């Protein structure tokens, strides 16, 4: 596999990959056009935060299978575009935790005492002790917005200074926060109570401009704010106004909406703003950790398909469980059969899974059905990462339903598929020997193996129909492997499935369609 490494990632990363059979190319400071011109040659792209991996770059990466981020944040990577292309995005969330937490603590100390500003004036020969009157940390309230690994490490360290820690994170259980000595509060209550605020959330629609004029107005006069997470979480113009008015006593930022910071950034004109050039993770130890960590994750993916640190592959991870493989095979066969049984423009697909075992694998089962269906039309590039996006592009409404239990089967997968030309239902089970079986076609109960070449049709439930079909096959020298029959409760219509050896041409299929009492014969190759 060909790997392209950008952004000055530690050499240990490339060396480890090379020792494990990858062909590694390292390039620094490529322009966007230069990257687009060569990305098509590579299977894996590795970046830090400097390179913006946009949708057009991902689209140009025709061989691209994985984008690795040596670090935690992935906002420089278009996750949606990668997912649509079926490209795994992988990060190393824990590798720079300590470095980022320590830098945050340094920034908190700096905004408390304005240490960098006092240092700069002293270096210029000035000596104004009164100007640099600071605040103690002991007894002050520190609000931590985002209590992931970094946020909790910051809490641990600042408790040593005697700070009271409050925080907000909707994903953190109250008992975990309590064990860490953190009081969970609603977001606005954090803003109202805090003497110091530090941000540790990802950048997304919910957090963009989280700190702005509206939320700053809720804060105490003289509050101090730190952001070592992601640029864009703070509205920089609003913060600059608050710094100049004194509403915010001081702020320390390591990240910015536009990086490198531009001369027009209003924070550059705020004497009480401390600014560093996105260096929270820039320690020898952190860069070595994330470089080795991302390399190890990629080698593990190559050797075992295990996805460690993947941010857009939860379904693919579910699909790796060995005990669900037989059901995934069944689901793919159900999807493939639906694609061949119905014509017309696809409208909707509903996957219902019943039984306790399938409950936790529901999304993977649905993805497998889609994978089987879509692969009937597009043989390349369909995987567990992009199937939902591909279905959306085709205008297919996908529903997932869970049935607590089925009266006849412990675990059952049912697929209801609709196009503008009709509807069909297929249901299947997995036997104890891990063999898939189809047990329902539309309103007919049945049991047959979904494999090989199968002739399927409905017919009048009367003598002679099957023998007439068998006669057509006999004259064409087509051998019958097995037959499955079912009929409705009224005993007026039947479903017939004939497994055959070899193939069946269109002329023979037309002859079967002309047999009296046979309706809509179709050929399934599974």
Q: Give which of 479, 521, 473, 516 is closest to 496, Cα–Cα.
A: 521
Strands 66-69 and 44-47: parallel
C-beta contacts of 507-510 below 8 A and 24+ residues apart: 508/472, 508/473, 508/476, 508/478
What is the rounded distance in angstroms from the CA atom of residue 52 to the CA atom of residue 55?
A: 10
Q: In terms of residues, how long is the chain?
A: 526
DSSP-based helix, strand, coil % in the chain, nearest 5: 35, 25, 40
Residue 459's contacts (CB-CB under 8 Å, 6 or more residues apart) are: 465, 466, 493, 494, 496, 517, 518, 519
Catalytic residue among 41, 80, 259, 271: 259
Please say whether the dihedral angle defined by the alpha carbons of residues 80, 82, 88 and 92, taken in this order, is positive or negative.
negative
For residue 114, count other CB atoms closer than 10 A to its CB: 23
Annotation says 230 is catalytic: yes
Phi-psi region of 359 (alpha: psi -120 to 50; beta: other; left: phi over 0): alpha
Annotation says 259 is catalytic: yes
Helix, coil or strand: residue 285: helix
What is the rounded distance in angstroms from the CA atom of residue 139 to the CA atom of residue 163?
A: 5
Catalytic residue among 48, 69, 84, 278: 278
On whether the CB atoms of residues 414 and 377 are closer than 8 A, the answer is no
What is the rounded distance in angstroms from the CA atom of residue 245 to the CA atom of residue 258?
A: 24
Structure token digits, residue 282: 């820039």
Burial class (CB in 10 A: 0-12, 13-18, 19+), 121: middle
What is the rounded distance in angstroms from the CA atom of residue 169 to the CA atom of residue 152?
A: 11
C-beta contacts of 316-323 below 8 A and 24+ residues apart: 316/88, 316/383, 316/384, 316/385, 318/360, 318/361, 318/363, 318/364, 319/364, 319/367, 319/368, 319/384, 321/361
DSSP letter assigned to residue 280 = T
Catalytic residue among 48, 224, 230, 235: 230
HSE, CB side, 13 Å, CA atoms: give it for residue 165: 23
Annotation says 113 is catalytic: no
What is the rounded distance in angstroms from the CA atom of residue 496 to the CA atom of residue 455?
A: 8
Structure token digits, residue 323: 């005990």
Q: Where are the beta strands (DSSP E) in 221-322?
A: 223-227, 248-253, 273-275
Active site (catalytic) residues: 230, 259, 278
């Amino acid at each position: 596999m060909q790997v392209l490494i950008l952004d000055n990632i530690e050499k240990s990363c490339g060396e480890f990959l090379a020792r494990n059979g990858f062909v590694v190319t390292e390039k620094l400071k490529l322009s966007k056009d230069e990257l687009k011109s060569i990305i098509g040659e590579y299977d894996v792209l590795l970046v830090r935060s400097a390179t913006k991996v946009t949708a057009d770059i991902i689209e140009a990466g025709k061989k691209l299978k994985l984008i690795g981020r040596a670090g935690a944040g992935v906002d420089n990577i278009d996750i949606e575009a990668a997912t649509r292309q079926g490209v795994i995005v992988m990060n190393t969330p824990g590798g720079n935790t300590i470095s980022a937490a320590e830098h945050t603590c340094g920034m908190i100390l700096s905004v408390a005492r304005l240490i960098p500003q006092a240092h700069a004036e002293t270096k210029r020969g000035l000596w104004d002790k009164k100007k640099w009157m600071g605040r103690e940390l002991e007894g002050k309230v520190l609000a931590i917005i985002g209590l992931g690994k970094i946020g909790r490490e910051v809490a641990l360290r600042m408790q040593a200074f005697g700070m009271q820690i409050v925080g907000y994170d909707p994903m953190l259980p109250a008992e975990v926060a309590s064990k860490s000595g953190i009081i969970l509060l609603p977001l606005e209550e954090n803003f109202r109570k805090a003497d110091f605020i530090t941000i540790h959330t990802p950048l997304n629609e919910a957090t963009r401009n989280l700190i702005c004029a509206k939320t700053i107005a809720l804060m105490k006069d003289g509050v101090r704010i730190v952001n070592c997470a992601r640029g864009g979480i703070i509205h920089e113009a609003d913060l600059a106004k608050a710094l100049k008015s004194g509403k915010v006593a001081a702020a320390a930022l390591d990240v910015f909406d536009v990086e490198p910071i531009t001369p027009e950034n209003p924070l550059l004109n705020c004497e009480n703003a401390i600014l560093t050039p996105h260096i929270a993770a820039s320690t020898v130890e952190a860069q070595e950790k994330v470089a080795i960590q991302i390399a190890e994750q990629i080698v593990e993916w190559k050797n075992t398909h295990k996805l460690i640190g993947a941010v857009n592959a939860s379904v693919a991870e579910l699909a790796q469980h060995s005990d669900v493989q037989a059901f995934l095979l069944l689901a793919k066969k159900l999807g493939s059969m639906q694609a061949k049984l119905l014509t017309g423009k696809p409208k909707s697909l509903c996957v219902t899974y019943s039984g306790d075992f399938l409950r936790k694998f529901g999304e993977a089962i649905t993805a497998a059905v889609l994978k089987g269906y879509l692969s009937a039309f597009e043989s390349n590039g369909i995987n567990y990462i992009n199937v939902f996006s591909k279905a959306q592009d085709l205008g297919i409404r996908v529903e997932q339903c869970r049935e607590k239990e089925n009266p006849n089967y412990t675990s059952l997968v049912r697929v209801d598929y609709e196009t503008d030309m009709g509807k069909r239902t297929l249901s299947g089970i997995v036997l104890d020997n891990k063999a898939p079986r189809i047990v329902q076609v539309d309103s007919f109960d049945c049991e047959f193996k979904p494999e090989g070449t199968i002739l399927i049709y409905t017919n009048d439930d009367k003598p002679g129909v099957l023998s007439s079909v068998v006669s057509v096959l006999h004259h064409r020298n087509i051998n019958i492997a097995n037959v499955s029959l079912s009929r409705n409760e009224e005993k007026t219509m039947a479903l017939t499935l004939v497994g055959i050896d070899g193939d069946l041409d269109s002329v023979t299929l037309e002859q079967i369609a002309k047999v009296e009492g046979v309706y809509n014969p179709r050929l399934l190759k599974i």
